[in-house]
Structure 1
Amino acid sequence: MDKTNLIEGAKKVLNSNFNEEKGFTIPCEGLYPFQWHWDSGFIAIGYAHYDIEKAKREVESLLSGQWENGFIPHIIFHNESDTYFPGPDYHRSDLHPSSPKTIKTTGITQPPVLGFVLKEIYDIARDKQDVLEFIRRNIDKIFKNHEHFYKYRDPHDEGLVYIYHNWESGTDNSPIWDEIWKTMDPPKYKYERKDTTHVDASQRPTNREYDCYLHLLEIAKAHNYDDAKIADLSPFLVQDPLFNAILTKSNEALIELYHILGGNEDKVEVLKSWQNKAKDSFEAKLFNEELGSYVYYDLRNQKQIAFTTSSSFTPLFAGIPNTGRANKLAHRLLKNFGSEDLFLCASFDPKSEQFNPKKYWRGPVWINLNWLIYKGLKRYKYYELAERLKQETINYIEKHGFYEYFDARKDQFENAAYGGKNFSWSAALTLDLLNEK
């Protein structure tokens, strides 16, 4: 398939998944029927290349679900659907006094991509003044979202925020969480899984894992989604390098955009203080010298979770490591994730016993993580490695279409595509890679 056909195919996927009435795009039909937070951010980047109005609508539709306290949920339930569990009636966002009165949402969040998404849209757009007006209308809402994280999710004032649910990480069933699940004894909840009616159950989280996921939500709901109470009680309290790298990058983007807009010096100074603390804490707390990569920190048990995942390389995207540590990351990426029998970049260390090449975030390649790592490698001038990652990413799409995730093993390339079909962020970020200047 040539470049033109890939671009047209990506546009077709996005347009078919777009809800014209509500102004948002579903990740894919059936499996994910609502608006997801970080999906919409990546999707807006794709739209910016050919339909700037849709890009703007995507962002504003997501922001329509923002809570009064600045919180932006991980799902906005604009529409009705019975193909997904747990839905709005389970999440009960109305339990929190700051939640919207006219729209249902979840009470958990996802990686805060909107800051850097605004900057990407600005960089892509031809009519800069039009986009700057759009940014002017919305940038303070995103600043308020960041402010919420540092106020309620950074108990030690160290510039690193925690997540209290694995779904907040975006990497739902990563082996990273396995040790935490072992410490939990959740009830066996009665519910009907909807995801396994769309995708082979062997590629999805187990029922026992789902019981843990629901138990964390039950703790949050029992305390009306109060962050302080959840922080006291939840067995899951983790500082995630992906989540924090994205927040740090979005801080950087907001600083740049406020400078372009002019004024807002007070907000810029606050953003810079968050940045400085975050970068220092990343280096002091999240880097593992033995692994040569950034890792997760279990805040509940005060220890690193010493595994390397694709998320471990995303601090490159945010400009966090110094040159020495960037070199260690590149070395680790090639040694464990990019050997002669592997395409870049598996979502979990392929040399680990817990690596599963077909199961969601336990091993497969994801287009959005590849995009983040690609941008990070370019930032640190690893151009050859970045180009390899880009081409291998496009090769998956060219061969199989816009699937949700892919097998990293080269000998499985013929049957490498898994998960949802016609997946929106796979299409959107392919567009961005193909249209790169």
Structure 2
Amino acid sequence: MMTDLSLLNCWNTWDVRHVNAVMRMSDLAQVRVGFYDNQRKLYKDEFFATEITKYGMHDLYGRYSEIEIKFQGSVYKLESASNGDQFVYKVSPQGSPLNSHLKFYISGLFRWGGKGNCSIAKEGHHLILQSDKRKYAIQVVGEIDESTLVNGSHLGITLHADKPIYIQCNSTMTIPEMESVLAKNKGISLNDAVKGQNALNEVPEAIMKGMLWNTVYDRVKDRLVTPVARTWCLGKMGEWVMFGSYVLFCWDTFLSSLLCGIQDKKLAYQQIYSILQEVSSRGMIPNFSGELRNSEDRSQPPVGAFCVLKLYEQFGDIVLLEQTFEALLKWNQWWTVNRDGNQDGLLEWGSDPYPDTPENTFIAGVEQVDDLTAAKWESGLDNSPMYDEVIYNKASHTMELSDVGLNSLYALDCRALSKIAELLGKQTFAISLAVEYERVKTLVNFELWNEEKGIYMNKDWKGAFNERVSPTCFYPMLAGIATPEQAQRMMNEHLLNENRFWGEFVIPSVPKDDPAYLEQDYWRGYIWGPMNYLVYEGIKNYKFHDAAFAFAEKSNTIFMKEWKLHSQIRENYHAITGEGTCTHMQTWGGLLGYVYTEEFISASAWGGYRFGNLSGVLGGLNNFPLGSDRYTVDSGSHLIVDKNGEPYIRANVPVLITDWSIKNRVLHCSVEHRMAGELVLTINDDADEFIIFIIGLTGTRELRETVDRFSQVIALI
């Protein structure tokens, strides 16, 4: 169960420690760009996100990458372009003044015990990397420094750093020829990448840079993985190394699959496959799993089946469902066996007393399981005030708190798995999972809805509601648990209430009237991509179109503010100032931009594509993948959709098209509009008939017609 990586056997930034190096996965040969301050005798060849001033284009297949790094006050642009065994690498100083005492040190090596050796050719301008199967002749073009002695760990060549240098592998090109390769490969990569326009300018590109610059080679399991951030792998707390050469967090990685899906199906699937490879012997997907340690005692929010189903609806590959159903089902079944502490049918977060070993360590110096802190970690909301006064039950290994968020996500998991089972023809499972979904839905509504407060609330085992709420209390909308009336109350009284959750920046992880809000500390106030995404999906479920658009737009504003100022995607964001906080260049911050792309084009987990919105805001995406096709959407006072470069949908007023699906050459969809106009469909290559529900100025009508062999013109009245 793994994406075919044969196309990825290219020179690329696969080394988790070194964005400033290119490596081949096949034999672990690496060429690294190091920096040396001859005045301070300081050598550096490892750079973290805070030392990167700009994340540029990055191609998964090694065709082009670009990044800017800061060393000793000077900024350098690193560009690479590869094709098979060959690559071109350019390092150029940016701006001025340039310090003459700064040097480049170009080294060659084999990583992680790769079998091979490195030597320097007699003329001194070449490195030779020789593996069992290949020889790599590395030529350095620049002003060689013969006098400076660099105490590097690997054999290398020293050059002056005040002018651009070039490195090429297995070629003898001139500088103009190398520049041509860089320009050509960059053009090809840009042409193949998803692109945002107008309101979505740079949004999908930033999301993908977050994913691709964090995608690395895992030597332990010989695969490609995307940690939430390289920093989480190799960062330190005091003397304590965090997780080693890789770490995968559970719900983070599942949600990352959706981010990858806006451009690259293979990388999206690899997120799913890689986290499912971490499943425990008991069928549980751990909170985290890494080279040095993993969490055998606890899991994390069950969003996996939903993400897999959404990817299936986007790309249509039944094999994805076939390869993941069994593991996802076992995880689903694990919850009721291990997390219903009082056997009342509702779930609680917990932590099992197994194993209590250093390998299970999460935070430096804390080797703990089976307590309230570990149970909070399972929730994913580590220090949420919802759990401040909660009792932990050692006998059940759970909190004594039936949790709205957990039960809603478990219900969602059952619903998604039921549909997957149906698609796979596993009717027995489809039925039993649907029954389980209805059981949990009924219980959540009966036990956890607070009619007086107008919101779902956690409840302790004594039957008292927990007054501390968070956006997880809106998750019943995501799972389809809330009635329309309940959803409307939550929207009006809580989510859109500026004294609670609404405002310039949304959605704070605690309401504004909670004492913890002013703390703005992690899950005590900060805004988080995953929380925004799950709440947003719930808003869409109940067709609150205007609120969904406003929510997505506000989320994207926070995301792009940090990106445009600092070229960073952050772990979370300050709910009062909107500034980025905590870990730099963390993948799931991209979910704040992702929700905005969903307002223009997306695939629903429950079936059908969506095009456009009713806002009138001008924006769109180019090269967005649906099925095996690429779409361009331009939405504003109109809607323009092209499929593979050809006209597909046209409207001269804002329209929202949902549930778009074509089966047996019959198109089914819904079209909503608020202005009179015209809709033109050019779908004769795909469909012979259409059935469209039109919701407009005169109410709702159903239109059934045979498709014209040219274009179908539909009046919007």
Distance 1:110 1:64 in 2: 15
Q: 1:133 to 1:432 in 2, by over 3 A?
A: farther
Tell me whether 1:133 sits opposite 2:319 in the alignment.
yes
CA deviation string 1:310-369 (max 9, x = no partner)? 111111010001122111111221124345x54321110111222235211111111211
Instruction: Report the Cα offset of residue 426 of structure 1.
Output: 1.7
Tell me whether 1:39 sits opposite 2:252 in the alignment.
yes
1:356-367 map, 5 Å: 356=518, 358-367=520-529
Opposite residue 443 of structure 2, the aligned amino acid is: S
| Native 8 Å contact 1:288 1:306 kept in 2 | no
Distance 2:549 2:428 in 1: 39
> What secondary structure is seen at the aligned counterpart in 1 of 2:382?
coil
1:223-238 map, 5 Å: 232=395, 234=397, 236-238=399-401
> What secondary structure is seen at the aligned counterpart in 2 of 1:251?
helix
Aligned with residue 377 of structure 2, among 136, 152, 167: 167
Distance 2:443 2:518 in 1: 31
CA deviation string 1:64-108 (max 9, x = no partner)? 12123321111111x34xxxxxxx2xxxxxxxxxxxxxxx54321
State the superposition RMSD in angstroms: 2.2
Instruction: Report the Cα offset of residue 18 of structure 1.
Output: 1.4
Aligned with residue 403 of structure 1, among 549, 552, 570: 570
Instruction: Report the Cα offset of residue 404 of structure 1.
Output: 1.5
Specify the alignment match of 1:267 in structure 2. Answer: 429
Paired residues in the alignment total: 356
Distance 2:453 2:232 in 1: 36
Deviates more, 1:150-159 or 1:171-180: 150-159
Opposite residue 111 of structure 1, the aligned amino acid is: P
Aligned with residue 282 of structure 1, among 444, 452, 455: 444
> What secondary structure is seen at the aligned counterpart in 2 of 1:17?
coil
Instruction: Report the Cα offset of residue 49 of structure 1.
Output: 2.0
Distance 1:306 1:248 in 2: 23
1:190-339 map, 5 Å: 232=395, 234=397, 236-262=399-425, 264-299=426-461, 301-331=462-492, 332-335=494-497, 336-339=499-502
Opposite residue 406 of structure 1, the aligned amino acid is: Y
* Higher RCO (Cα < 8 Å, 6 or more apart): 1
Opposite residue 426 of structure 1, the aligned amino acid is: G
| Native 8 Å contact 1:49 1:432 kept in 2 | no
Q: 1:169 to 1:272 in 2, by over 3 A?
A: same
Tell me whether 1:144 sits opposite 2:330 in the alignment.
yes
Instruction: Report the Cα offset of residue 13 of structure 1.
Output: 1.2
Aligned with residue 353 of structure 1, among 512, 515, 529: 515
Tell me whether 1:107 sits opposite 2:297 in the alignment.
yes
CA deviation string 1:158-192 (max 9, x = no partner)? 54222120111111100111113xx6xxxxxxxxx
Specify the alignment match of 2:275 in structure 1. Answer: 62
| Native 8 Å contact 1:36 1:76 kept in 2 | yes
Q: 1:155 to 1:237 in 2, by over 3 A?
A: closer
Distance 1:50 1:348 in 2: 33
Q: 1:149 to 1:114 in 2, by over 3 A?
A: same
Tell me whether 1:27 sits opposite 2:228 in the alignment.
yes
Tell me whether 1:385 sits opposite 2:547 in the alignment.
yes
Specify the alignment match of 2:588 in structure 1. Answer: 425
Opposite residue 121 of structure 1, the aligned amino acid is: L
Distance 2:431 2:396 in 1: 34
Distance 1:122 1:322 in 2: 27
| Native 8 Å contact 2:558 2:592 kept in 1 | no
| Native 8 Å contact 1:158 1:277 kept in 2 | no
Specify the alignment match of 2:284 in structure 1. Answer: 71
TM-score, length-normalised on structure 2? Answer: 0.47
Compare CA radii of gyration and give the structure with the larger one. 2
Distance 2:488 2:225 in 1: 40
Distance 1:395 1:408 in 2: 12
> What secondary structure is seen at the aligned counterpart in 1 of 2:515?
coil
Opposite residue 512 of structure 2, the aligned amino acid is: P
| Native 8 Å contact 2:553 2:596 kept in 1 | no
Identity %, equivalent residues: 22
Where structure 1 has 5 or more consecutive residues not aligned to the other structure, the ranges are 81-87, 89-103, 184-215, 217-229
Q: 1:280 to 1:231 in 2, by over 3 A?
A: farther
> What secondary structure is seen at the aligned counterpart in 1 of 2:452?
coil
Instruction: Report the Cα offset of residue 384 of structure 1.
Output: 1.0
Distance 1:151 1:234 in 2: 12
Specify the alignment match of 1:53 in structure 2. Answer: 266
Distance 1:51 1:342 in 2: 33
Instruction: Report the Cα offset of residue 152 of structure 1.
Output: 2.7
> What secondary structure is seen at the aligned counterpart in 1 of 2:465?
strand
> What secondary structure is seen at the aligned counterpart in 1 of 2:518?
coil
Distance 1:312 1:432 in 2: 19
Specify the alignment match of 2:339 in structure 1. Answer: 153
Instruction: Report the Cα offset of residue 10 of structure 1.
Output: 1.5
Deviates more, 1:375-384 or 1:356-365: 356-365
Opposite residue 248 of structure 1, the aligned amino acid is: A
Larger strand proportion of the pair: 2
Q: 1:46 to 1:235 in 2, by over 3 A?
A: closer
Distance 1:334 1:287 in 2: 19
> What secondary structure is seen at the aligned counterpart in 2 of 1:355?
helix
Larger helix proportion of the pair: 1
> What secondary structure is seen at the aligned counterpart in 2 of 1:282?
helix
